[in-house]
Amino acid sequence: MKEHQFKKAINFLKQYESQLIVPDMNVTENTNAQSSIIGYPEKSFLGEKGYTTKLSRKKRWEILQEEILTEYPPQTVINKLADFIRRFKAQRNGSKRYAAAIAEWEYDIERVREAYKVIIKGY
């Protein structure tokens, strides 16, 4: 009887499973000389907490977990990282010029998504 109720509760909770959504990061490259960073603040909430792709993956993850994800929801962090990717890809030759940073942002998006998704295994 209790096993049946437990399985029923698990099935109910699965309806509300949290799925973090990664926004579309495909953009058209801006071919004119004007910068696409005009109008953006110098630092985002990520940068204010010390996050930068110049750090190691381990150090970035520590900052994300200890400084950022304790204050901001995972979806907000994913959205900001995706915004970085779109913004830098949109610049002239941005996909090539910023390939290393873009790869790190993509890595961090996937890591946040995997770490914060709700998984109920075995039922």
Interior/surface letters 83-121, b for 16+ CB within 10 angstroms, e for the rest: ebbbbbbebeebeeebeebbebbeebbeebbeeeeeeee
Going by the DSSP 8-state scheme, the letter that residue 90 receives in this structure is T
Q: pTM here?
A: 0.70
- pLDDT by residue for the chain (123 residues), tens only, comes to 667 677 766 666 555 456 677 777 666 666 554 544 555 567 899 999 999 999 999 999 999 999 999 999 999 999 999 999 999 999 999 999 999 999 999 999 999 999 988 544 443
Cα distance between residue 62 and residue 95, in whole Å: 27
